[in-house]
Chains A and B, each alone.
Chain A
């Protein structure tokens, strides 16, 4: 087990290295420089050249990469060109907002999808099952930006139940409990939009995984013992159905940290997703690299955690 962990971690570091090289290369090959977007056109070309020189824009790519990775190893992710402060500080400012929304959506979708998927499977071909199927196909096929805009138009603009965008009411200056309520109120729509797709996917997986398990002989054994249907479904079947469910969940965990670009952009949510989007537009290289590094680490970690969870749930899976 320890050996397996060490091997997996070593692999992860190698993957991480490859990812950083590739990403670094592509970003640097893209046309444009950090000042194309923001500098006043009246600034003279010489001044601009000098600024670019100073930040090492004309260094060869390998040198740039080397400088960057050297700093990363020292725990220094560089200085954001746009925000004029350490990249780490910029990310730390945004991260809680994204985690709030991502975790909210994941909890919401899991709380809905797993019971609904189970019910769909136990009452196969019932009205509930058909409704669930139709709804989840809608959930899977409707783009987040469209669903988001739909909700904004309907619930925020027409009915004025929820705020249109942002995370706090601008200029209200709420404190304490009022602040929490204000954020929660802003949180509802983006969370629902983000949760929709996750719910739909997770529900389909739960349903099909449960259905597959129902066909096994040990389910008949469990019934023959006299166990109630609830115990048969929730204990004997569900634990066996968990592996695909964990796989799907582990793919959704990175979203909690890396943010949902579309959802955050539509709702003007000050999170990591929107930060990544603007960082790319602004060619804020240090910020882009740090964000990508973070995302990669989280994806690798959640895969590792999923693999370890498989072994916890299914005793037949052992890592040597």
Chain B
């Protein structure tokens, strides 16, 4: 049996607006191994959420659509599945948690109802057994008094509690893959740490794979095994997390690491990457990072660089082949 659970190949996702078509993800390829955590890191608008939503085939219609590529789950292309087949996968084999715990739960249904729904749908479990399983899950995500929780409404819970409920909802049907789209971004720092710890424990215990999306390299360092850095709709570097943090090859990755407040250097002050990510409407020719890159040369504007494997398991999309980042 292959060790690859999920693999995207050359995934391209577009959004139509009034006049133009914008490519939000442009040839994204990555692999998620069984029982491993792949972190996808990038700033807002880099296409990381769009990538994760396409795996669920939940790109907002009718403006968004998947232009091409493949999303292989257990070697089967999800893009060829019917909507009905996809529904059997969503929430069952692949579950997702979102950035905004405050608004991701339906305000007019009780927690028990919202949790139990997926269990009933995918496993046909209802009634007392359904309630018991929901309580078990709430206990697993360390919610005190899970029985009471079932009869509460989302507005009665704090953000951290709601995110725990979302996680309980996600693991209820024992998925093989969990997609976590910035699950800790909206939480304050202490709660963030608890939620990360929880996710890591659950992932180990249940041998689940996680695709973890964030803009925070610090979070990646704590949870991910491998990490892919996205910039303007493309993956620009991918490596094991320790390798990437220790010896980044792409100037963008280097910039991100330098910008972590913990890497504050009195000599430079807090550092940031100058400039802005180009909007998808006016993408520069060639390397999309070139306009902000300190190492850019005329060569960079010629064509989009290919992803090159510099060392085994470490790929980078830069013509300098990593020399610029060191």
For B117, the chain A residues whose CB sits under 8 A away are 225, 227
CB neighbours of B16 from chain A (8 A): none
Q: Which B residues from 213 to 252 make CB contacts under 8 A with A?
A: none
Asked whether B6 is an interface residue with its Cβ less than 8 Å from the other chain, the reply is: no
CB distance A314 to B91 under 8 Å?
no
Question: Which residues in chain A, 208-262, are within 8 Å of chain B measured between CB atoms?
Answer: 216-218, 220-228, 236, 239-240
Q: Are A218 and B121 in contact, CB atoms less than 8 angstroms apart?
A: no
The answer for the CA separation of A189 and B68 in the assembled complex, in Å, is 55
Nearest Cβ distance between residue B256 and chain A, in whole angstroms?
A: 27
With an 8 A cutoff between CB atoms, is A281 at the interface? Answer: no
Instruction: Give the residues in chain B near A314, CB-CB below 8 Å.
Output: 107-108
B92 touches A315 (CB 8 A): no
- Closest residue of B by beta carbon distance from A238: B108
Q: Once the chains bind, are B109 and A221 in contact (CB under 8 Å)?
A: no
B300 adjacent to chain A (CB < 8 Å): no
Residue of B nearest to A218 (CB): B106
Give every chain A residue within 8 A of B118 (Cβ-Cβ): 225-227
A84 contacts B by Cβ under 8 Å: no
Report B-chain residues with C-beta under 8 Å of the C-beta of A316: 107, 153, 155
Partner of B56, one of A217, A224, A227, A313: A224
CB of B177 within 8 Å of the partner chain: no
Q: Are A240 and B87 in contact (CB under 8 A)?
A: no
Q: Determine if A218 and B89 form an interchain contact, defined as CB atoms under 8 angstroms apart.
A: no
Docked Cα-Cα span, A313 to B153, in Å, equals: 12
- Chain A residues whose C-beta falls within 8 Å of the C-beta of B155 in the assembled complex: 315-316
- Asked whether, in the complex, the Cβ of A217 is within 8 Å of the Cβ of B100, the reply is yes
Residues in B75-89 with C-beta less than 8 Å from chain A: 87-89
State whether the Cβ of B194 lies closer than 8 Å to any Cβ in chain A: no
Interface hits, B94-149 → A, CB 8 Å = 95-96, 98, 100, 103-109, 117-118, 121-122
Across-interface contacts of B157 in A (CB, < 8 A): none
Instruction: Tell whether, in the assembled complex, residue A224 and residue B91 are in contact, meaning their CB atoms are under 8 Å apart.
Output: yes
Interface size class of A (residues with CB under 8 A): 20 to 34
Contact between chains at B107 and A218 (CB < 8 Å): yes
Q: Are A225 and B108 in contact (CB under 8 A)?
A: no
> Chain A: interface secondary structure?
helix
> Does B254 interact with chain A (Cβ within 8 Å)?
no
Interchain CA distance A226-B106 in the complex, whole Å: 15
CB distance from A183 to the nearest CB of B (A): 41
B89 nearest in chain A by CB position: A226
Asked if B38 CB lies within 8 Å of chain A CBs, one says no
- Chain A residues in 8 Å Cβ range of B62: 125
Contact A220 B106 (CB under 8 A): no
Q: Contacts A220-B98, A225-B118, A225-B169 hold; do A315 and B90 have CB atoms under 8 A apart?
A: no
Interface centre among A218, A223, A313, by most B CB within 10 Å? A218
A22→B107 CA distance, assembly (Å)? 43
A209 to B108, CA, bound (A): 15
Is there contact, CB below 8 Å, between A225 and B105? no
CB distance from A86 to the nearest CB of B (A): 48
Alpha-carbon distance A102/B283, docked complex (angstroms)? 61
Please, which residues of chain A bring their CB within 8 A of the CB of B104? 217-218, 220-221
Q: Assess whether B103 is in contact with A226, with CB atoms less than 8 Å apart.
A: no
Q: State the Cβ distance, B179 to closest chain A Cβ, in Å.
A: 9
Is B58 engaged at the interface, CB distance under 8 Å to the other chain? yes
- Expressed in whole angstroms, the Cα–Cα distance for A224 and B106 within the complex equals 13
In the complex the two chains form, what is the Cα distance from A222 to B88 in whole Å?
13
Q: Are A221 and B58 in contact (CB under 8 A)?
A: no
Select from chain B the residue with minimum beta-carbon distance to A237.
Answer: B106
Measured CB to CB, the closest approach of chain B to A206, in angstroms, equals: 17
Interface string of B161-177 (1 = CB under 8 A from A): 00000100100000000
Query: How far, in whole Å, are A313 and B62 apart by their CA atoms in the complex?
Result: 30
Contact status A225-B98, CB under 8 Å: no
Which of B105, B107, B108 has its CB near the most chain A CB atoms (within 10 A)?
B108
Say yes or no: B121 contacts A225, CB within 8 Å.
yes
| Residues of the A chain whose Cβ atoms lie less than 8 Å from the Cβ of B89 | 226
Shortest beta-carbon distance from B217 to chain A in Å: 25
The smallest beta-carbon distance between A229 and chain B, in angstroms, is 8
Q: How far is the CA of A316 from the CA of B118 in the complex (A)?
A: 24
8 contacts between A and B (CB under 8 A): A217-B104, A220-B58, A221-B98, A223-B58, A224-B91, A224-B95, A226-B118, A316-B155
Q: B residues engaging A (CB < 8 A)?
A: 56, 58, 62, 87-92, 95-96, 98, 100, 103-109, 117-118, 121-122, 153, 155, 166, 169
Q: A220-B98, A239-B106 are in contact. List 4 more A-B contacts (CB 8 A).
A: A221-B104, A221-B106, A316-B153, A316-B155
